Amino acid sequence: MLQKMLIKGGVPLRGAIPISGAKNLALPSIAAALLTDQKLTLNNIPNLVDVNSAIELLNYLGVEINWASRHSLILSTNTLKTTEAPYDFVRKMRASILVLGPLTARFKKASVSLPGGCAIGARGVDLHIKALQQLGAEVELENGYIKTSAPAGLFGCDISFPFSTMTGTENTLMAAALAKGTTKLINAAMEPEVVELANLLNKMGAKIEGQGTPVITIEGVDSLHGATFDMMPDRIEAGTYAIAAAATNGEVILKNCRRDHLSSFFETMSLAGVTHEETEEGVLVKRKSDIMPVDVQTMQYPGFPTDLQAQFTTLMTICKGAASITENIFENRFMHAPELVRMGANIAIHGKTAVITGVNALKGAQVMATDLRASVSLIIAGLVAEGETAVNRLYHLDRGYENLEEKLTNCGANIKRVSVD
């Protein structure tokens, strides 16, 4: 059943919002269960459509999975039914590619459907494939599938990524953990999710060093064992609610927010006139002035995250002046802009830069969500706008925001989900 979100804007958000476990850590952590025949317990897993998609895929492969409680998953991978991840799973979620490395490393072969294009850009997986080839796997592309084979196992080597890739680094990290000898990942992604995945693998018996720096060294081991691991809080969810608080001129405490994971984001927010302060309950976010224009460039970690670009664009639509936002990671990540324009925003796109001239107020309208972060940027716009906003195609939102309506309603927002007939 299709759903849309109805929002009556103009209410400043006030209250506390608990931040859920990180989606982009939960997805590779679930894939890591393929690396061991022992029990992996993952705590603070968010209840999200993407997490369910990952669980369905692993279930299909033959992994035994149980929810021990609402946010705790127990996964055991003794024998697999298949090493093939079919199109129907990968089509639903690109992060399904994360099973490629673990399957090839432990089961010596894999067949994973090639992800197609996606709303925000071409998003190739060539670097994932090349890294596995360098580790000694034979790789063929056949009928839309990536087929790997490594009958003698994988062998450590130096792998240099021409540019940073998060899931590419994660896939290679998981494969190299079970390779013979030492692997060095050069120009590895430095995002906190990558660091935490390495920490999880180390808890499972891997020998990984240098996570969080551009060079990660992995000394391969023969096997990995079970472990229990907690997901860190989702930095993108925290940043999203920080922007919602500022945009509505409210005051929100982000509970379990890791400020150190959001340094460049909070620096940018300060320039925009938004303060943040550590309190006993969490990080308190509020405005200290009108919203000021800031020029932002999205960058790999520790730079300003592309996953907060759409939300920040919404904040800039009501700034006092003109701001520019340059998207350096994805080539097509301004799909929210024309929708914001429908709500009265003044945005001109020039190649990879959006120039935003602040307006006094946004006006409620019917808008269409195109991807996860674009969806939530429109929700924030709806919270700010005069009158009623309807955000259509909500299924994108549910991939990455746990209990969004409840979290916002508890802060006073007037928001409800309705079915579209």
Residues forming the site for ligand EPU (CB under 6 A): 24, 27, 95, 121-128, 165-168, 306-307, 329-330, 372-373, 400
Q: Cβ of residue 387: shortest distance to ligand EPU, in angstroms?
A: 28
* CA 399 – CA 381 distance, rounded (Å): 19
Residue 118 known to be catalytic: yes
In whole angstroms, how close is the CB of 32 to ligand EPU at the nearest point? 13
Token pair 């603070």: residue: 44
Strand 388-392 relative to strand 207-209: parallel, antiparallel, unpaired? unpaired
At 386, list the tokens.
């005069």
Q: Minimum CB separation from ligand EPU for residue 100, in Å?
A: 11
Please, are residues 355 and 2 in contact by the beta-carbon 8 Å criterion?
A: no
C-beta of 158 vs 290, nearer to ligand EPU: 158
Q: Give alpha helix (H) positions in 317-388.
A: 336-342, 372-384
Q: Could you give the CA distance from residue 330 to residue 419 in angstroms, rounded to a whole number?
A: 32
Which phi-psi region, left, alpha or beta, contains residue 249 (left: φ > 0; alpha: ψ -120 to 50)? left
Phi-psi category of residue 19: left, alpha or beta, with phi > 0 → left and psi -120 to 50 → alpha: beta
| Tokens coding 323 | 């701001």
H or E element at residue 230: strand 227-230
Q: How far apart are CA 11 and CA 250, in angstroms?
A: 8
| Pairing mode, strands 274-278 and 215-219 | unpaired
Of 118, 157, 319, 411, which is the active-site residue? Answer: 118
In angstroms, the CA 118 to CA 120 distance is 6
State the minimum distance, in angstroms, from the CB of residue 48 to ligand EPU.
10
> Taking the complex as a whole, how short is the minimal distance between the CB of residue 241 and ligand EPU, in angstroms?
15
Residue number with CB closer to ligand EPU (252 or 329): 329
Which sign, positive or negative, has the C-alpha torsion 294, 298, 304, 309? positive
Active site residues: 118
